[in-house]
Amino acid sequence: MRSIVSLIGLVAVVSGCGAPNAEFRRYTTFAHKVAESAGLEKGFTRDQLQGVDEVMLAMFGSPDEPAFPAIEGIEAGKILNVSHLKLAAGPMGSDEHGNPRGLYREHCAHCHGITGDGVGPTAAFLNPYPRDYRKGQFKFKSTPVGQKPTHADLKKIVLEGVPGTAMPSFKLLPDLEVEALVEYVKYLAIRGEVERGLLDLSTNLEDKARLISVLPTNADDQAKSAQQEQVAAVKDVVKTVAEKWDGAAANITPIPQRQNLTGAELAASIKHGRELFYGSIANCVKCHGDSALGDGQTTDYDEWAKEFINDGKNRDVVRRYVSLGLLPPRTIRPRNLRQGIYRGGLRPIDLYWRIMNGIEGTPMPALAANVRKPEDPPEAKKLNAEEIWDLVNYVQSLPYEPINNANDAYREAHEAMPERPL
């Protein structure tokens, strides 16, 4: 008995002390998807995957030593502050000057994962699941769908948290540390999206080929120029991703000032907003439900799951991706608008942006396409920008509006059918 205990103790001492070096995890789900859609029967070969890993390591470094590739024509400093990455990277602790190190692993990695893949150790227990940054998509931002969030958008989420989810506020951290975390999230997002691009690129490779060939010392000019082309193709992928982040701040959707309404005017605006809510153009009722309780449409998934499992009906596909590291997909619920909990912020401008731009990666559509532009013909069935404010006013009134008022309901029914006695 005693020998067993000491043996266990010995094993614990030998194996437990000194955690292995942290490594970025391979994007297995996406690799499977692109290989399948490219018709590669056995998926990527080991060489092809190692080729991607090598290029990723060379460009972006490791979780302990992050790097950012130099891109022609783009000032790296405009996308992210590389020197800040040091504070967030590496194991938790501080350097010889007392500056913090490893902030990402201290505050974020247990949910969002070392790789930013949203599958940290605690992720499976949370609902909704933590964000997977690697898709490069973020929900709560001031820019339209397809555009990157601004630095300020990401910082607001870190500072304020996301009410209604497990994301807490990090308001009490010093500003420098919050900045470092935001930069690191951008770094992981760019890194992940580049990995997707490189996997896409790898589908054209021969079985034994690598993304960038390893040349013998006596390689001829033809081989060298072929390698140059490979390098250029990789750089192209990085540039495409980086450019989108570079221009984020220029794409913020401007918001016309809301008129300061009170009393009867406000009531009229709310009433009109209500009509729009149930109307055919905005059609909020379709998903948010007849009573705005978020119970209209409840069987859809978000893009992070949908890109792999489509409508989730094929259980084999779901099972395959879950075995590859996707968390068991859950349907996405439209927001219950009567709780007064707004994940992306409760300022009127936050609600305006959500309605106007939609929520990226979710079934919430952008109303922007149905908002009148100067060139539209007057008979087009479109909303005015002002009417978005009516919708916002209605949404803001919902948490404080009694969900059923027998008198109002009776009066409405009477208006619809006046022959009934009141």
Partner 1 sequence: MGRFWSLLFLLVPILGVGTFVWAMAGWWPMHGHWLPENINAHGGVIDSLFMFILVLTGVIFIATTLAMFWFMWRYDGGANRDPVAFTHGSHTLEVVWSILPAATLVFIAIYQMNAWADHKMRRPKLPSGEMKPPLAEVMGRQFEWRIRYAGEDGIVGTSDDVQLVNDLHLPLNEEIVLAIKSADVLHSFFLPNLRVKQDVVPGMKQYVWFQPTKEGVYDIVCAELCGWGHYKMRGRVTIESREKFNTWLSQRAIEQNQAGYTPEPVESE
Which residues of this chain interact with partner 1, rule CB under 8 A?
Answer: 107, 110, 122, 142, 160-161, 163, 166, 168-169, 171-172, 249-250, 252-258, 346-349, 352, 389, 396-397, 399-400
**Cα–Cα distance between 64 and 373 in angstroms, integer?**
49
If the CB atoms of residues 166 and 322 are measured against partner 1, the closer one turns out to be 166
- Residue of 251, 222, 238, 215 whose CA lies nearest to 142: 251
CA distances from 258 to 81, 315, 387, 410 (A): 35, 48, 10, 33
Residue nearer to partner 1 on the CB measure, 306 or 333: 333
- DSSP secondary structure letters along 215-254: PPTT--HHHHHHHHHHHHHHHHHHHHHHHHHHTGGGGPPP
Residue 223 neighbours by CB distance under 10 Å: 13
Nearer to partner 1, 35 or 252 (CB): 252
- The tokens of 223 are what? 């081989």
Long-range contacts (CB closer than 8 Å, 24 or more residues apart) made by 261-266:
261/393, 266/393
What's the min distance (Å) between Cβ of 350 and partner 1?
9
Residue 254 or 378: which CB sits closer to partner 1?
254
Cα–Cα nearest to 133, from 52, 32, 241? 241
Q: How far is the CB of 334 from partner 1 (least distance, A)?
A: 21
Three-class secondary structure assignment of 161-174: CCCCCCCCCCCCCC
CA distance 68 to 294: 42
CB of 278 to partner 1, least distance (A): 22
Structural tokens at position 368: 């922007």
- Closer Cβ to partner 1, 9 or 256, answer by number: 256
By beta-carbon proximity to partner 1, the closer residue of 160 and 200 is: 160
The nearer residue to partner 1, 32 or 272, going by C-beta atoms, is 272
CB closer to partner 1, 75 vs 221: 75
- Select 1 or 250, whichever has its Cβ closest to partner 1: 250
Report in angstroms how near the CB of residue 71 gets to partner 1 at its nearest: 16
Closest CB to partner 1 among residues 283, 397: 397
Q: How far is CA 302 from CA 282, 298, 415, in A?
A: 20, 11, 40
Q: How far is the CB of 173 from partner 1 (least distance, A)?
A: 10
Whole-number minimum distance, CB 251 to partner 1, in Å? 9
d(CA 145, CA 98): 41
Q: Give the nearest distance from C-beta 298 to partner 1 in angstroms.
A: 23
What is the nearest approach in angstroms of partner 1 to the Cβ of residue 258?
4
Task: Specify whether the CB–CB gap between 25 and 115 falls below 8 A.
Answer: yes
CB of 353 to partner 1, least distance (A): 8
Least separation, in Å, of the C-beta of 348 and partner 1?
4
Distance, in Å, from the CA atom of 66 to the CA atom of 181, rounded to the nearest integer, reads: 13
**Helices marked H in 61-144:** 76-79, 82-88, 103-107, 109-112
